[in-house]
């Protein structure tokens, strides 16, 4: 049965009682759905108490309205990375949290002061102006795929290179550096690397961006680095080192999440004949379908995270000051009190309330770019490769259970 028509079995009302809270993160029993422990019954609004890798405790919040409320509540919850109590899934994440110097790891007022310097770069007019170039990039990558002939790994042949080339065009970084950037992003987002490796790669990426800043100061271009240099660095509002830290964050986010969404989204479209037919036959259907795929996949697995500043009641449980919370975007986006039949893909669904990009002050800065990239990518794939199909059984596809950003390691396809 296709995913668009499939309905998941009923969900247990609660996690079985145990002396100790269950270990987190949970493994998925089905790669296309959040872990069973996070799929709560509609009347069960309680956050889950969990045990972390170091034996500490944290909460996992799964309700859609609760997640949004906490993300919007800067008075009672902090998202600052370098603080006691912020929950992590690995020791390596502790290391990079302590070193994070970009606004993603800050509370207000610092967060907004830095973020405002970059909002224009990701505005709708800026991204719309870039869209023809984005479309050319997609076509050129698909030209190369067609010329090479089937079978191909869509991840390596298209999904990785596409956002890398787009970010190169936007930021002004050389495309040939993209594999280094991806390597650094993987060292931060993986679940198996050592703290030393994670910290080293984070520092290497910031150092790389600092060199890029210095190069653009000597040879300006029509790109983000040059504009931020002129508008904020030279007037003294932003130092080059601060810009390097923020630039490293932009590179990580701009490469990894979109690449994984292209792989997962293509897989879902290839498994769903009704969805595929609708997208191939109706250009206007792509925009809402992309948001529905974002809701369904919710690739960010273990963020955002918060620390309670005061004692607060969440879903009938008392969260104490200093307690850490994981806000599960995947579970929130499957909340049956908000989304009808949430475990099926409905390409006509009104999904403006999904939280795949987060919510509140830390909502994804690049969401307009990500949406355009995904719309362009899926449109081009379906247009250029109308007979595209999986080249291996679904059971042979390896999913990224070992990464904080969920996706597929490879997607073998033929046409």
- pLDDT at position 2: 44
The answer to whether residues 287 and 294 touch, using CB atoms and an 8 Å cutoff, is no
- pLDDT at position 17: 47
- pLDDT at position 5: 46
- pLDDT at position 289: 95
- pLDDT at position 12: 39
pTM: 0.90
Ranges in the chain, pLDDT < 70: 1-18, 41-42, 351-352
- pLDDT at position 193: 83
Structure tokens at 214: 């210095």
Q: Which of 45, 30, 36 is nearest to 16 (CA)?
A: 36
- pLDDT at position 11: 37
Cα–Cα distance, 204 to 119 (Å, whole number): 25
Q: Which helix (H) or strand (E) holds 325?
A: strand 324-327
- Distance of CA 23 to CAs 20, 54, 56, 367, Å? 9, 10, 10, 32
Using DSSP, state whether 49 is helix, strand or coil: strand
Work out whether strand 305-308 and strand 77-78 pair parallel, antiparallel, or are unpaired.
Answer: antiparallel
Structure tokens at 90: 């690995």
Work out whether strand 77-78 and strand 389-390 pair parallel, antiparallel, or are unpaired.
Answer: unpaired
Q: Which domains does the chain have, with CATH numbers?
A: 36-95+109-414 (1.10.630.10)
Query: Residue 391's Cα: distance from chain center in Å?
Result: 26
- pLDDT at position 14: 44
């Amino acid at each position: 049965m296709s995913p668009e028509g499939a309905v998941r079995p009923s969900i247990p009302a609660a996690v079985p009682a145990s002396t100790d809270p269950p270990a987190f993160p949970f493994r998925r029993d089905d790669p296309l759905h959040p872990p069973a422990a996070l799929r709560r019954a509609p009347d069960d609004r309680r956050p889950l108490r969990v045990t972390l890798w170091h034996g500490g405790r944290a909460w996992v919040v799964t309700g859609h309205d609760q997640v949004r409320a906490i993300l919007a509540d800067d008075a009672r919850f902090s998202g600052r990375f370098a603080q006691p109590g912020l929950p992590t899934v690995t020791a390596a994440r502790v290391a990079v949290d302590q070193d994070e110097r970009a606004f993603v790891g800050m509370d207000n007022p610092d967060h907004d002061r830095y973020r405002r310097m970059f909002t224009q770069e990701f505005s709708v007019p800026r991204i719309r102006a870039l869209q023809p170039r984005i479309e050319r990039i997609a076509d050129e990558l698909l030209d190369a795929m067609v010329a090479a002939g089937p079978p191909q790994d869509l991840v390596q042949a298209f999904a990785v290179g596409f956002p890398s080339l787009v970010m190169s065009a936007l930021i002004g970084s050389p495309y040939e550096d993209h594999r280094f950037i991806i390597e650094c992003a993987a060292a931060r987002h993986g679940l198996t690397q050592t703290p030393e490796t994670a910290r080293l790669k984070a520092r290497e990426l910031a150092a790389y961006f600092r060199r890029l800043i210095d190069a653009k100061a000597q040879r300006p271009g029509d790109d983000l680095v040059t504009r931020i240099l002129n508008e904020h660095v030279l007037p003294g509002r932003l130092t080059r080192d601060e810009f390097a830290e923020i630039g490293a964050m932009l590179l990580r986010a701009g490469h990894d999440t979109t690449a994984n969404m292209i792989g997962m989204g293509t897989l879902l479209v290839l498994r769903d004949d009704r969805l595929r037919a609708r997208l191939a036959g109706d250009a206007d259907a792509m925009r809402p379908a992309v948001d529905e795929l974002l809701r369904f996949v919710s690739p960010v697995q273990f963020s955002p995270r918060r620390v309670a500043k005061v004692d607060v009641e969440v879903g009938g449980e008392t969260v104490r000051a200093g307690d850490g919370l994981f806000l599960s975007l995947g579970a929130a986006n499957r909340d049956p009190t908000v989304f009808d039949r949430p475990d099926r893909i409905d390409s006509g669904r009104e999904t403006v309330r999904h939280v795949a990009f987060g919510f509140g002050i830390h909502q994804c800065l690049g969401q307009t770019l990500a949406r355009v990239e995904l719309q362009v990518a899926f449109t081009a794939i379906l247009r250029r490769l109308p007979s595209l199909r999986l080249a291996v059984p679904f059971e042979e596809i390896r999913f990224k259970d070992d990464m904080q950003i969920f996706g597929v390691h490879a997607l073998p396809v033929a046409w």
